[in-house]
Amino acid sequence: MSVKANQETLGFQTEVKQLLDLMIHSLYSNREIFLRELISNASDAEDKLRFEALKDDSLYEKDTDLKIKIDFNKEQKIITILDNGIGMSREEIIENLGTIAKSGTKQFFDSLTGDQTKDSQLIGQFGVGFYSCFIVAKKVEVITRRAGENRANGVRWISEGENDYTIETVDRPKRGTKVILYLRDDADMFLDGFKLRSIITKYSDHISFPIVMDEEDDIDNKKEKSGEETVNSATALWARNKKEIKDEEYNEFYKHISHDYDDPIAHIHNKVEGRHEYTSLLYIPSRAPFDLWDKEQQHGVKLYVRRIFIMDDAKQILPSWLRFIRGVIDSNDLPLNVSREILQQNKIVDSIRLGCTKKIMSLLKAMTKKNEEYQKFWNIFGKVLKEGVVDNSDFKGDLSQLFRFSSTHEDTDEQKVSLKDYVGRMQEGQNSIYYVIADSYVTAKGSPHIEIFKKKGIEVLLLSEPIDEWVTTHLSEYEGKTLQSANKGELDLGDIQSETEKKKKKKNSEVHNDLIERIKNVVNDKVKDVRITERLTTSPACLVSDSNDMGRHLEQILKASGQNIPGSKPILEINPDHPIIKKISSEKDDDLFSDWSHILFDQALLSEGGQLADPVNFIKKLNSMIVSMSK
């Protein structure tokens, strides 16, 4: 770092260098978005000033006329974006423009694929749109002063978007920020009033602060300035009558608040009047935020009170299982000085939360009628939505209608089957919705636990996501039909099972009682019990959990997460009709019988995706068995 008087040259953070390179090369085909991003930043600065001035109106410095000014100079080849918002101090400008000091940085860069098209779509989500100015500018100058600071504490920041930037203290009479873009030679098309106005109208018409430009009179083919004109509508979009708002306007507003580059899947605009009055404009994105699973990530709903911005991560407004929702909520009833603590215990917030959640549920239900659209949503956000039945029982019924699963009815790992679909295909006499849980779709599809179901043509839901065990714990029935695990407890096929089959099971248990006891004596340290199975048709054995025990899949997940849980022993079920079981039954040598029994248990464990405690010993026993059988 070199220092000269009040000026210093600092190197960009490594992540900023990566981002700059990505910006300049990936977004070249859509360069006009630089203006949208800078106007969006200016709007945020105006919002923040208005919020901070609620407690200290001296921050206005006798200038309450908030606006954003766009100017250009053809001769100098510069574009200027000026706002009279909150401004930045020296420390803030280093933090905001020189580094990326935010949660989710690692996730963002881990998400980059090297494919410029795909990577560019992540940039906006990361919320660093300022750097998009380097798509059109060879040099950028930022002059700013924080509201309330002495005019001598202004700051000038200059960079050519490569390795470093210079920063110095300057005299700045007015608060706010001025961004000067020195355009590249191939960006001359932006030095045109009509072009800039069309970009503002296209991308930023919804900005609630006036975006002004100098009026131009064409006198003898020479443009002369004759005053200022407001280019945008300068009205909060959500405050307008939704009948007057075009889809394009809704989409551009979404991109403004989310920093996304793609249109949302759907939106809902609702005004509530009565005991509590508020307006909500909520969106479902078309892609998952890169930090969706980051516990520190901000929720995407901005809170306003009577058009005044309050905060942009109001987590209390929507439940965590709707954290992918983006949008704004504007309340007429909350106090302007509302804090996060007040939001946590406030009846008005509770009412807004309940009302908005119901509206989103209604929107999603309506989307299910458009299979392709809803399937796209479910593929992206289904895992998050499943959290809803675990966190909140109030919407269990609504959510159960929205859930989609893989099943033996569909030859695909895509989750397409609803519980309604399943119930509509249930066999006569079938009382339960059957499911199997495994650590992958392939393991679930090939699970020995569902062999009898395949034989009888009974559909089984194939669950393979970590949250599924929690879901089935909290979602025990649907339309009077119980959800029953094929992995747990005694198998109950209800009236589908004939009396002959029931008698056969009882007879098998009696006939093979001695075999059961012999196996139990060998593997008693590993199992709770050994019994004859009804589940298996082609496999020799399987492991099941007792009906009151934690499922083995959930047990593995908890242990993998570092939780110290006692665990429970499984039940070993054997298929007496299988050749291996018949071989074991006739084995007189106790050592060989013991090896066969251990192999039987280990095979059953492997078939459900379990981990062997001693794989080397398993291989030795198996090899020994193969050799002995070949003699």
Q: Where in the chain is the domain with CATH 3.30.565.10?
A: 2-230
Kindly tell me the number of DSSP H helices and DSSP E strands found in the chain. 21, 23
Residue 506 has a pLDDT of 73
DSSP string, 420-489: HHHHHTPPTT--EEEEEE-SSHHHHHT-GGGHHHHHHT---EEE-STTHHHHHHH--EETTEEEEESSBS
**pLDDT confidence bin for 121, thresholds 50/70/90:** low
Q: Where in the chain is the domain with CATH 3.30.230.80?
A: 237-367
Range 404-494: architecture per CATH: 3-Layer(aba) Sandwich (3.40)
Residue holding tokens 């969006």? 40
- The mean pLDDT value for 213-236 works out to 76
Residue type, 244: E
Residue 26 has a pLDDT of 60
Whole-angstrom distance, CA of residue 133 vs CA of residue 19: 12
Q: How many CB atoms lie within 10 A of CB 350?
A: 13
pLDDT digits (tens, 9 = 90+) for 141-198: 999 999 999 999 999 999 998 888 899 999 999 999 999 999 999 999 999 999 999 9
Q: Is the pLDDT of residue 28 over 70?
A: no
Q: Where in the chain is the domain with CATH 3.40.50.11260?
A: 404-494
**pLDDT confidence bin for 560, thresholds 50/70/90:** low
- The mean pLDDT value for 20-41 works out to 76
CATH H-level, domain 499-630: superfamily: Heat shock protein 90, C-terminal domain (1.20.120.790)
Strands 406-407 and 461-463: antiparallel
**3-class secondary-structure state, position 517:** helix
Residue type, 142: V
- What average pLDDT does the chain have? 86
Residue 98 has a pLDDT of 76
Residue 149 has a pLDDT of 96
Residue 2 has a pLDDT of 39
Residue 112 has a pLDDT of 64
**3-class secondary-structure state, position 100:** coil
CATH number for the domain whose boundaries are 2-230 = 3.30.565.10
Range 237-367: architecture per CATH: 2-Layer Sandwich (3.30)
Q: Where in the chain is the domain with CATH 1.20.120.790?
A: 499-630
pLDDT digits (tens, 9 = 90+) for 492-543: 787 777 667 667 777 777 778 899 999 999 999 999 999 998 889 999 999 9
Closest by alpha carbon to 541, among 513, 577, 514? Answer: 577
Phi-psi region of 161 (alpha: psi -120 to 50; beta: other; left: phi over 0): left
140 close to 180: Cβ distance less than 8 angstroms: yes
Percent of the chain beyond pLDDT 90? 54
Phi, psi of 609, deg, nearest 5: 85, 15
Residue 559 has a pLDDT of 61
Structure tokens at 138: 């060879």
